[in-house]
Structure 1
Amino acid sequence: MPRLLAGAVAALAALPLAGAQPAPTPDYTITVDSGTTGAAISDSLYGVFFEDINWAADGGLYAELVRNRSFEFSPADNASYNGLTGWTVTGTATTRDDASRINERNRTYLDINGSVVSSPFATVAGDFYDFSVWARADAATTLTVTLGSTRHIVNVRSGEWRKYSATLRATATTDAATLKVETAGPAKLDMVSLFPRKTFKNHGLRADLASKIAALRPGFLRFPGGCLVNTGSMYGYDAASGYPRARSYQWKDTVGPVETRATNANFWGYNQSYGLGYYEYFQFAEDIGAAPLPVVPALVTGCGQNRATDDPALLQRHIQDTLDLIEFANGPVTSTWGKLRAQMGHPKPFGLTMIAVGNEENLPDAYFANYLKFREAIKAAYPTITVIGNSGPDDQGATFDRLWELNRSAGSDMVDEHYYNSPSWFLQNNARYDSYDRNGPKVFLGEYASQDAKFANSLAEAAYMTGLERNADVVRMASYAPLLANIDHVQWRPDLIWFDADESWGTTSYQTQKLFMNNVGDRVVPSSVAGAVVQPKPITGRVGLSTWATAARYDDVKVTGTDGTVLYSDDFADGNADGWTSLSNRGTWSVQDGAYVQSDTAATNTMVAAATDITATDYDITLKATKTGGAEGFLIPFGIKDSDNWYWWNLGGWNNTQGAIEKASGSADAKEQLLTRPDTVVTGQTYNLTIQVRGTKVTLIRDGEVWGTFDDNKVTEPFAQVITKDLRSRELIVKVVNAQDKAALTKVDLDGLRVASTGRMTVLTGDPGEQNTRSAEPIQPVTSTVRGLGSTFTRSFPANSITFLRIPLR
């Protein structure tokens, strides 16, 4: 073809066809900076945190089927408990605590001439179950042990306590099985136990739950808490018996033969047998390939309490206990605690490399003084151990700021942050760690979750996790919390994995965590995104009143514009509260002596709202408030849209110790704290309160003095991304979260990186209000092959979706 003709043909080919539509403009553009080296990602970036909350251990991960197997339950622990809680007895049966006990730690036993039947549990037809009991009799006798239609006779010799065992085979698949032990004559029983033969790696943990945790491929396992670690830690041991004087969690109570371990009251309101103890935690971490991360008490309480030890000897004992713990994990079999580990079945050291001191302490200076003493002792004996401090219970506030200041000054290895916030908070704070000091202490995000169990929460968490990965040089570890929840016994929501007696299921957040944890990568590929964000809106809406476990009087409620115009006013002088409506259906509200009074000191969140919707963007709210009784202070809601969307000024909260501005977005149970500070309200004192709203900025004034200010002006980013490189598989992993109700057409520019045209795509998508439940798990990953990839490509990411593209490098 002549050159001139060829040029003409090429020119014609470049022209748009008649009627052809131009390519649509992308909603977002992701651009890689291939000339910059991104941060290396720790092998332990994502892990799991196990705390015995929501009955997660006994009746959960710990596979023991018998509740209160050692008859140790007591009304001192829980008013509804006694030594026979979990049992039905016939004949003569009495629990005793006397010199005939099995040992000093396992003090209570059952003196019986008759039978006991356990509370129900689940069995599978044909499966084998291992029964054991410690028994003692003055004269030889027999025990008849029954599981369903299976019976076994145990011959009990006269004399001292002995352990007897048997194997039983279940004849039915049921969640209502029971274990019956019947004596032919007088006998003493303790540690009546039944375990399924099938446990995770034969180490005594419930197989389905442990397998779901293992499927996450966690880089670390944090244990045993949580709030149960530092609460109750002020107390030591009785010198004579060695038994705890108070119900506190001590690691030494949880090792050795199970019949010598204590049964203690749990911070969360129930008992724990310690059959799942420190040895089992270390073993489980090893079984799932996770680094163990124990948390030890710093002798300063947290979790809503404020107390620090003033006993130097007790503090020193806890420090020595921590050194002994490291020896138990890592010491040679010739050492005292290494020998115990070997006797329990693990002569090889567990390879402990890090330990956390304390959890969510509310007294920063007292905590940090103790933390430094722990650190000094640990580093002197074990200089390579990473010692982790913490920043208290919130993502911001006076305690958070002070603890970070102290940790930075002391050059801490790592700081543990905890926060539970609304989906909007996570969508507004993707850049949280962008500004952290790259040379300061590293971050361990030990507990976080969006406060509900819907897919919308998981989308927000996923968007936030892209920011964690982008800042992998600062955020070295992160774990969603809590991990497990028994659907019939719940102290905290949301949770990652739910279970009942015989089933378990992963939430939408479980599927999200699993997707991220199985596709981490080894290094961040620097990238940026351009596209629309959601701008903040002025704070408008109704004004309200509320209390929490407190009785209070409110009067002279007024809303005025900045020009002095009265937008709303009620002084209750006419004896009624017309127009005020309850948004919670709680509390007892009435007009008394010209004031609006809430008189129920037990009710929580008693919110009522005025009739007028404040549409002005600049206005002042004024009122008088008087606490008349109860545990806390005042709650002054404003910007109320409905019962699940509002702000409130919380004065004298947390048992009259702290104040805060809290924001509910989509759920009254999903509050985030925009501002916190120490605060107390005096009963009987009348306070003049003013809330000045100027668009998104709010000033809070109490008795003429500024109490605090905040500006809720962060943009919401419903679209987030991060790109990492898997060095082993030689793949790029493009991770995109589209947390909005419309698809996002996106151009991806890999800046010349040579990649294959075909990749593997995994997507989580669905209705943002959807949940995974026992009856259905609709949010599941879908993996497919995708084509048309390259150094530059365009894809439409579905509405409300999490998409991972694994693209081979060429």
Structure 2
Amino acid sequence: MRANRRRPARTTCALITGLLCVVSTASPASAATDYSIDIDTSTAGPQISDQMYGIFMEDINHAADGGLYAELVQNRSFEYSTADNENYTPMTAWEETGSGNTNGQVSVVDNAGRLNERNRNYLRVVLPRDGSEYGVVNSGYSTGITVTEGEKLDFSVWVKAPGRPDPVTVRLHDAQGEPLAEPLSLDVQGDWAQYTGTLTATASSTTGRLSVTASGGGVLDLDMVSLFPQETFRGHENGLRADIAEQIAALEPGFVRFPGGCLVNTGSHEAYEAPDWPRERSFQWKDTVGPVEERATNHNFWGYNQSYGLGYYEYFQFAEDLGAMPLPVVPALVTGCGENQATDDPELLERHVQDTLDLIEFAKGPADSEWGGVRAEMGHPEPFGLTHVQVGNEENLPDAFFDRFLQFRDAIEAEYPDITVVSNSGPASGGTVFERAWDLNREHGVELVDEHYYNSPAWFLANNERYDSYDREGPDVYLGEFASQGNLFSNALAEAAYMTGLERNADVVRMVSYAPLLAADWSTQWTPDMIWFDNSTSWGSANYEVQRLFSANTGDQVVPSTASGTPGVSGPITGAVGLSTWNTSAEYDDVRVTSADGETLLEDDFSSGADQWTHVTDAGTWAVEDGAYAQTDVAGENTMVTAGDPGWTDYDLEVTATKREDAEGFLVGFGVQGTGDYYWWNLGGWNNTQSAVERASGGAKSLIVSDDTTVESGRAYDIRVEVRGRDVTLYLDDDEWGSFTAPEPEPFRQVVTRDEQTGELIVKVVNAQDEAAQTSIDLGPTQGEPTAELTVLQADPEAVNTATDRPVSPETSTIDGVGSTFTHTFPAHSVTFMRLTPEE
């Protein structure tokens, strides 16, 4: 049952966030309707998992420090390093401050006098003897520390000050030095000790600064300088920023996957061993528990420092607060995200397997067990619920990964047979890695396989049936990361259309999470993202609104339904031809394009130059050399030149290609409509590890078909591409390399589910086109005339939600007495959730 998935309160016409609310009226079905939806209420479809929609939390885009983790002081323990970011130093976000003509000094120290072994650096402040005040000031993240008048903030610092009777003064002020709170005076003396106090903001600011100063001579040693809002999510100490956490909670997630992502399986897998510990380590859970001052900081894969203040305990606590299933991810000792190495150290592998068993004990072991005791000491004597553990993330070496995965699974199942061990299928929606990984997952009876893909909106519109053909007796699917490469409403519409297919296949697709979850608008390494934030506010993207409404309207069981398709959406592959390279020098010769009936459309041996070709990108250097058309810049990415008519259909493209030097092979384009819309055959791509056909739409590429073909330098290859309608066959040196039928985008999609608690039918319809869709809906036999409650997202396809403007927001309305058959018009560019309540 999904009792927590509640519908919006019934209203006649609720106006939300300034959108015009339009009430549709029911009308009799008409033979002139554009679409039809037939619902078979007499047949039961697949049950939908209670964990169908969840979240994936990775510290990317400053999602943790400076984001969800509520700490306001940046670099609080002076551990930033050039290993994190070439622009970092241990004094990043800090500077000296003082009054008068001070002659004090500050220095970052790493010696035996430190607070603890894992958090090695601390700040030494040599105070002036002339009575002047001197110390340091922290600028927080981005524009500064954001405070609101009346807000209470908890300050803490660890200080060592032997023989010093004079107090330390803590001030909160803005960038101009104007006070934002009454100062704190701390009496500090002796060896390392923690000192605390509360600051109450007397004014609001987004440019706050925190200063720690003293006078009277002598030496102060400082570490772990911290400022936390008292109002954290659910009031936890060392807790989460309330507004961001509430945005996440509004998604009603069924699970929380953490902590990554690339953080898990990149970097060294070695343990922390002072003093020569690796700065770039994979995310290892034991580094992240216990008192925060004893946790080691670490280089973040995405180019900054991570404090581990948001660690495994806090992740489990967050999942519990959300009522969600925790899904921790541990490294499989096969690196991914471009590194592609597998450890051959059996002792290291054995240690990580044991660490995973210890993690399970930390989560669910009794308080008198070793690691359950650590959890209890941190404040949670009762176990956290744990039923699933994921091993690995997006490994590109499926055989090496699976060899290690099985060792993890065997050990876990031997000690914890109730734990489901989750595998994965690599970083893409298809290709040789994907196919091999799935073969291994099936062969070894894996229960749940994590798929990841980031494809174009056109791909999502065209691949609604992806899971229709999956083996119902094989592993289930967890779609752990997906997005359509943009935060426009058109992206959200494409994702919504695809999600109707995910729900229809709920007997195979058990769990789904969009990615990434969070992004700071001041430091973003990856887009698109679901929730954006700055220092003072957070907001959901258009994609967020779709994910939230699907989660709130999931239902418990699929009700079979069929819909008529959109006429005229499909047509032949149409376009000119193209030649390109990627970080490679190559040459092309003897290009010939012939129509299906034998007419020569283009012929060029470059004996008279290359006047038929247009260089359409800024990258690359093209010239005719020795009778061939050569691209000589080995650093150019997508150096495309094109020739021919964008209206061409049904043709054969022939060309001879030779790789001259460097990383990859050839890119042969067809169906070229522009610089961002084309198909190309990528031979020797991905550093010459595989070959594939890719479809670019709006600049976003999706993989269609691939294999492990590589290319040799200096060898001439004869390439032929035959295009017939939407069918394409590709030949390499006269041997058929592969073929495919280009999927057809469909802008009108639907799925119907039932809420077993209320008896409601939930009709979800996506209309991702410029025209409204007048639709005849047949509910089959019904009792009485149901009431329809509508929640609609409708906006311009280019609309983007921002900090100050939310054009993509839901509106609700009610239709009374729709009958068993009725007509409804679904607006252009809209997602509609129609809850049909039986007549009482």
> What interval of TM-score do these two structures reach, taking the shorter chain for normalisation?
over 0.9
The answer on 1:126 being equivalent to 2:150 is yes
- Partner Cα separation in structure 1 for residue 540 and residue 770 of structure 2: 24
Q: Deviation of residue 424 (structure 1)?
A: 1.8
User: Residue 527 of structure 1: which of 561, 578, 582 is its match?
Assistant: 561
The answer as to 2:468 corresponding to 1:434 is: yes
Which moved further from structure 2: 315-324 or 111-120?
Answer: 111-120
Local SS of the residue matching 2:196: strand
Secondary structure of 2:513's aligned partner:
strand
1:656 to 665, 688, 699: 688
Asked if 1:199 is matched to 2:232, the reply is yes
* The 10-residue stretch of structure 1 (26-35 or 516-525) with the greater mean CA deviation from structure 2: 26-35
| Counterpart residue number, 1:230 | 265
Deviations 1:383-439 (A, max 9, x none): 111111111111122222222222122221111111111122222222222222222
Residue-pair matches, total: 784
Distance 1:276 1:789, change over 3 A: same
Residue 633 of structure 1, CA deviation: 3.4
AA partner of residue 287 (structure 1)? D
Distance 1:623 1:422, change over 3 A: same
Equivalent pair of 2:519/2:531 in contact (CA under 8 Å)? yes
- 1:56 has 2:63 as partner: yes
The residue aligned with 2:722 is 692
Aligned twin of 1:86: 93
699 and 322 in structure 1: CA distance in 2 versus 1, 3 angstrom threshold: same
CA distance in 1, matches of 2:262, 2:568: 37
How do 1:584-595 residues align onto structure 2 when only pairs under 5 Å count?
Answer: 584-595=617-628
Q: What is the one-letter code of the residue matched to 1:86?
A: A
Matches within 5 A, 1:56-205: 56-90=63-97, 91-113=104-126, 114-119=134-139, 120-140=144-164, 141-148=166-173, 149=179, 150-155=181-186, 157-184=188-215, 185=217, 186-203=219-236, 204-205=239-240
Partners of 1:264 and 1:273 lie apart in 2 by 7
Helix, strand or coil at the partner of 1:327: helix
Segments of 5+ residues of structure 1 without an aligned counterpart are: 1-20
Give the TM-score normalised by structure 2.
0.89
Q: Do the aligned residues in 2 keep the contact of 1:627 with 1:686 (CA within 8 Å)? A: no
State the SS of the aligned residue for 1:604.
coil
Cα deviation, residue 626, structure 1: 2.0
Q: Which residue of 2 aligns with 1:28?
A: 35
Cα deviation, residue 614, structure 1? 6.1
What is residue 793 of structure 2 aligned with on the other side? 764
1:40 aligns to what?
Answer: 47
8 Å CA contact retained: 1:568, 1:612? no
The letter of the residue matching 1:618 is Y
For structure 1, which segment, 30-39 or 96-105, has the greater mean C-alpha deviation from structure 2 after superposition?
30-39
Work out whether residues 545 and 637 of structure 1, in 8 Å CA contact, stay in contact via their aligned partners in 2: yes
User: Could you tell me how far 1:57 is from its partner in structure 2?
Assistant: 0.8
Counterpart Cα distance in 2 of 1:679 and 1:168: 64
3-state SS, counterpart of residue 190 of structure 2: coil
C-alpha spacing 1:603/1:165, structure 2 compared with 1 (3 Å): farther
Q: Output the amino acid matched with 2:225.
A: V
- Contact kept, 8 Å, 2:268 with 2:278, in 1: the verdict is no
- How far residue 309 of structure 1 moved from its aligned partner, in angstroms, is 1.2
Shift in Å at residue 58 of structure 1?
0.8
Q: What is the aligned partner in structure 1 of residue 9 from structure 2?
A: none
Mapping of residues 619-634 of structure 1, within 5 Å: 619-629=652-662, 631-634=663-666
Deviation at 1:730, TM superposition (A): 2.5
Supply the distance in 2 between the matched residues of 1:603 and 1:774 (Cα, whole angstroms): 36
Moved more, 207-216 or 183-192: 183-192
1:16 is matched with which residue?
none
**How far is 1:450 from its partner?**
1.2
Deviation at 1:586, TM superposition (A): 3.0
Amino acid of the structure 1 residue aligned with 2:691 = G
Q: Larger RCO: Structure 1 or Structure 2 (Cα < 8 Å, ≥ 6 residues apart)?
A: 2
Distance 2:684 2:467 in 1: 31
Q: CA deviation at 1:133?
A: 1.2
Question: Judging changes above 3 Å, is the alpha-carbon distance between structure 1 residues 792 and 321 closer, same or farther for their aligned structure 2 residues?
Answer: same
Distance change in 2, residues 1:22/1:460 (3 Å): closer
Deviates more, 1:252-261 or 1:755-764: 755-764
In structure 1, the partner of 2:348 is 314
- Pick the aligned partner of 1:751 from 772, 780, 785: 780
Q: Deviations over 1:496-555 (max 9, x none)?
A: 111111121111111111111011111122222234355543223222233333344444
Distance in 1, Cα, partners of 2:208 & 2:371: 39
* Aligned mates of 2:311, 2:747 — CA distance in 1: 42
Post-superposition Cα deviations, 1:2-49, rounded to whole Å, max 9, x if no partner, equal xxxxxxxxxxxxxxxxxxx99442222222223322222111111111
CA distance in 2, matches of 1:93, 1:579: 67
Whether 1:414 and 2:438 are equivalent positions in the alignment is no
| Segment drifting more, 213-222 vs 589-598 | 589-598
Q: Deviations over 1:297-325 (max 9, x none)?
A: 11112223321111111111111111111
The alpha-carbon distance between structure 1 residues 170 and 546, as it changes in their structure 2 partners (threshold 3 A), is farther
Paired position in structure 1 for 2:703: 673
Structure 2 unpaired stretches of 5+: 1-27, 98-103, 127-133, 174-178
- Alpha-carbon spacing, 1:552–1:85, altered in 2? closer, same or farther (3 Å): farther
Query: Per the alignment, do residues 123 and 155 of structure 1 end up closer, same or farther by CA in structure 2, a change over 3 Å counting?
Result: closer
Aligned amino acid, residue 205 of structure 2: T
Match of 2:23 in 1: none
1:572–1:773 Cα change, 3 Å: farther
Q: Match of 1:480, SS?
A: coil
Which residue pairs with 2:552 in the alignment?
518
Query: Which amino acid counterpart does residue 685 of structure 2 have in structure 1?
Result: G
3-state SS, counterpart of residue 327 of structure 2: strand
Q: Which moved more, 1:142-151 or 1:313-322?
A: 142-151
What letter corresponds to residue 652 of structure 2 in structure 1? Answer: Y
The DSSP-based 3-state class of the residue aligned with 1:160 is strand
Please show how residues 241-390 of structure 1 align to structure 2 within 5 Å.
243-244=277-278, 246-390=280-424
Q: Is 1:137–1:156's contact at 8 Å kept on the other side of the alignment?
A: no
Of 737, 744, 748 in structure 2, the residue corresponding to residue 715 of structure 1 is 744
